[in-house]
Chain A
Amino acid sequence: MDFSIRAANVEDCKDIARMIVELAEYEKMTEHVKITQRDLEQDGFSKNPFFHGIVAEVPEQLRTKDGHTKIGYALYFYSYSSWAGRAVYMEDLYVMPEFRGKGIGKALMSKVAQLGLAAGCNQLNFTVLDWNQSSRDFYMSQGCSDITTSMGYHCMRCEGEALQHLAQP
């Protein structure tokens, strides 16, 4: 299949916002999405971006019935391991259902890996839902390890009232 991968720009935020919701639907968590297209524009494309994006595009003749040519994306940012140093965190990886199985997901992930290595990173980290067996299988086949299983690491979050409470003197 003919497709290309490139860095996201601010004009892509409409499609990225659309695909973020599609990914959340797939993960059965649509009600969790509070971010808007405008938030993405401000947070990803201002002087100090909080994330970076890459987009997968197909030529016009392969567009979806709704007219979309941007059919996949990945969001990532740089993080740090106190043991291994520079790391890259892949926050989202998504390809629209009708474009799966054609190597686009692999190409997006490979691009994140390249960008990470170019920035001196030693690790690529991300999370997967435990019931998402097809994604877990895909990632394991690419050579990664499940740190939650091997090291018992649990992802934790303090938010809302708990965060406010913690911030009180």
Chain B
Amino acid sequence: MEYKLRKAEPKDVPDILRLVKELAKYEEMEHQVALTEKDLLEDGFGETPFYHCIIAEIQGESSSEDPKVVGFAMYYFTYDPWVGKQLYLEEFFVMNEYRGLGMGSEILRHLSDLAMKTRCTGMMFVVAENNAPSMQFYKRRGAEDLSQEEGWRLFRFDKDSLLKMATPAEE
């Protein structure tokens, strides 16, 4: 099956949201997706994008049919003050029925190449420890588990605790 990778455009936003929700469903976290198409449009295609996206699409079944978006990766650039720029892979997903065609590997190859071209010293991401297939996929390709090897734990302040912290109590 022929597929191609390309940079996402504003018109892809509905497909991006659809795939974000499909991945969340796969992780049993569908109810957690609060993002809307409007957010994705403003945040990815405005003056200062918060994220970038590449899309995997396949040709329609007949020449009159539109190509279909079947996979995507969402990434942005971060900074490690010890070693410099990193490419952060936020989201990476290929629809179930289109797996096994090498799209995932090709997306990862494309991003690694981009990381090197933009002088990033590493590509970083998060995997849930109970997601064995993903853990294997990445470790097979040389990824290190920094949580396991160096003891890093990810902490988060959600909106409510962020608001509390931003307005300290009067002394």
From A116, A126, A148, A154, name the one whose CB has the most chain B CB atoms within 10 angstroms.
A154
CA distance A109 to B161 in the complex (A): 12
Question: Nearest residue in A to B148 (C-beta to C-beta)?
Answer: A154
Question: Nearest residue in A to B29 (C-beta to C-beta)?
Answer: A83
- Give, as a whole number of angstroms, the nearest-CB distance from B100 to chain A: 19
Interface residues on B, range: 35 or more
- Contact partners of A40 in chain B: CB under 8 A: 81
Known: A77-B79, A159-B123. 15 other contacts (CB 8 A): A39-B84, A43-B79, A80-B50, A91-B79, A125-B154, A128-B152, A130-B152, A146-B154, A154-B127, A156-B146, A156-B147, A157-B86, A158-B142, A160-B121, A167-B112
How many residues of A are in contact with the other chain, CB < 8 A? Answer: 75
A110 at the interface (CB under 8 A from B): yes
CA distance A161 to B46 in the complex (A): 35
Q: Are A159 and B150 in contact (CB under 8 A)?
A: no
- Contact partners of A79 in chain B: CB under 8 A: 50, 76, 78, 88, 90
A61 at the interface (CB under 8 A from B): no
- Give, as a whole number of angstroms, the nearest-CB distance from A64 to chain B: 21
The proximity string for A residues 9-48 relative to B, scoring 1 for CB distances below 8 Å and 0 otherwise, is 0000000000010001000010011110001100110000
Contact residues of B between 74 and 99, Cβ < 8 Å to A: 74, 76-86, 88, 90-91
Q: Are B79 and A156 in contact (CB under 8 A)?
A: no
- Give, as a whole number of angstroms, the nearest-CB distance from A128 to chain B: 5
- Give, as a whole number of angstroms, the nearest-CB distance from B129 to chain A: 4
Q: Which of B126, B158, B166 contacts A155 (CB 8 A)?
A: B126
Contact residues of B between 44 and 58, Cβ < 8 Å to A: 50-51
Q: Are B43 and A142 in contact (CB under 8 A)?
A: no
Instruction: Answer whether A158 and B143 are a contact pair too, CB < 8 Å, given A113-B162, A128-B155.
Output: yes
Instruction: Answer whether A158 and B141 are a contact pair too, CB < 8 Å, given A107-B168, A148-B154, A164-B116.
Output: yes
B156 at the interface (CB under 8 A from A): yes
B34 at the interface (CB under 8 A from A): yes
